[in-house]
Amino acid sequence: MNGLRPMRPRDTTEPHRVATPLELFFDLCFVVAVSFAGSQLHHALSEAHVGLGLSGYLTCFFAIWWAWMNYTWFASAYDVDDWWYRVTTLVQMSGVLVLAAGVPRAFTEGDITLFWLGYLIMRLAMASQWLRAAAGHPEGRRTALRYAAGICGAQVAWAILLLFVPREWLLAGFVVCALIELAVPVWAESAGRTPWHAHHIAERYGLFTLIMMGENILAATIAVQEAGSERGIEPGLILLSVSALVIVFALWWIYFAPSAAELLTSNRQAIPWGYGHFLIFAAVGAVSSGVEVAVDQLTGKAHLSPVGVGYAIAVPVAVFLFMVWLLHVRPHRYGPADTAAFLGATLLVLLAPLTPEAAPVIAVVTAALVVITEVTRKSDPRRYGKRPRP
């Protein structure tokens, strides 16, 4: 690390570009917030408060994901790794921990004050990074200033929501503010594309997916361990544990089978791809909550119906499969058999809760999808690895 220096853009064709230790540390702090949100979703679903759980989880997750995503794309373009850049990033990491501390109150009491404070810390730190990029990169100055202005303007909208909007209108106000946030990159990038690195972005998204899958395994393992210590190791618990492990392994295989970097050729492809990962990440985070609800059912703690418990696992898995097909698989044009396999598997996963054992059925379906897609793609060399549409 050198002294403070002008924030110049990184080379978009830089070979062997990989995530830095600071970026990995950054991700770990965000997973803490994700685990808090997932824990609250688990408790809400177990108590049969489905609407409250889903609205709380998706709104909290949006704030977590959006702050993570903005930093990730900025760092891909302007990571100078000097002491000021590191300090500013550490401030953002502190903000996500404040946000994580506010997640339980946001869920249970509808009090978003602490949650918003953490988000504000992250976003103002991000705005300062863009101002620094505007000063150090004259060619990208207009884009950087738009980002800084858009971020600050969005924070004003959040403050108005917090201070003046009645509680019964908070969800509608949240949607409006979220749309403002989503519009900022589209508006800013229309003044000129930031120099993000396609392979670096693909790796960063993949690493965050991996970390969240690891958190899935940890949360499910702890839930099974606690249930086993209370009631002993029962056949139903063993079946659920094996099923959950197979599901996570299959989701990992499915996500990383196609290459993502070659799809990110311009903002036209990259922005929908990046935004669409909100549902992929949220689905991965919700799988562990579903498994924990299933454990609660086995121990007699869940107030949700058996079908509802099945859907607590099935819905996030189905969302994951469909979004991975839409963002990762379809652009590669692997062929109609591949598409039919993904869409058929998504439908079967959604039907699984209507069977006596939802989790094992989902495990079989996702594992079968891995086998089918691997065989069909490799059996047709004309399609396997075919370049995406321009």
Task: Give the pLDDT confidence of 253-266 residue by residue, as tens digits.
Answer: 999 988 888 899 89
Tokens of 136: 């150090």
Within-domain flag for 3: no
Residues 154 and 216 in one domain: no
Confirm whether pTM is higher than 0.75.
yes
Together in a domain, 117 and 153: yes
The answer to whether 368 and 345 are in contact (CB under 8 A) is: yes
What pLDDT sits at residue 168? 84
CA atoms within 13 A on the CB side of 69: 21
Helix, strand, coil abundance in the chain, percent, nearest 5:
80, 0, 20
The reply to whether 176 and 210 lie within a common domain is no
Q: So what's the pLDDT on residue 353?
A: 97
Please, what are the averages of pLDDT over each run of 10 residues along the chain (390 residues)? 77 90 93 90 93 91 94 95 94 93 84 89 96 94 97 94 85 93 96 94 94 82 74 80 92 92 90 96 94 89 92 97 94 90 97 95 97 84 45
- Considering the domain architecture, whether residues 173 and 77 belong to the same structural domain is answered as yes
Which pLDDT value is given to residue 230? 67
Mark whether 238 and 370 lie in a shared domain: yes
Task: Examine the domain organization and report whether 84 and 43 are in the same domain.
Answer: yes
Range of the structural domain that residue 174 is part of: 21-189
Asked whether residue 296 falls in the same domain as residue 329, the answer is yes
Q: 250 and 371 share a domain? A: yes
pLDDT at 385: 46
Do residues 150 and 44 share a domain?
Answer: yes
Tokens of 27: 């991700």
Is 96 strand, coil or helix?
Answer: helix
By the 8 A CB rule, do 188 and 3 touch? no
* CB proximity list for 67: less than 8 A, separation 6 or greater: 30, 92, 95, 96, 99, 119, 122, 123, 126
165/168 Cα distance (integer angstroms): 8
Matching residue, tokens 């990038």: 189
Q: Are residue 75 and residue 142 in the same domain, yes or no?
A: yes
* Dist. CA 312–CA 289, nearest whole Å: 7
**Per-residue confidence (pLDDT) for residue 16, from 0 to 100:** 85
CA–CA dist 88, 90 (Å, integer): 5
The domain boundary, picked from 164, 189, 214, lies at 189
Could you give the number of structural domains in the chain?
A: 2
Q: What is the pLDDT of residue 388?
A: 43
CA separation, residue 76 to residues 71, 73, 362, 381 (Å): 8, 5, 36, 34
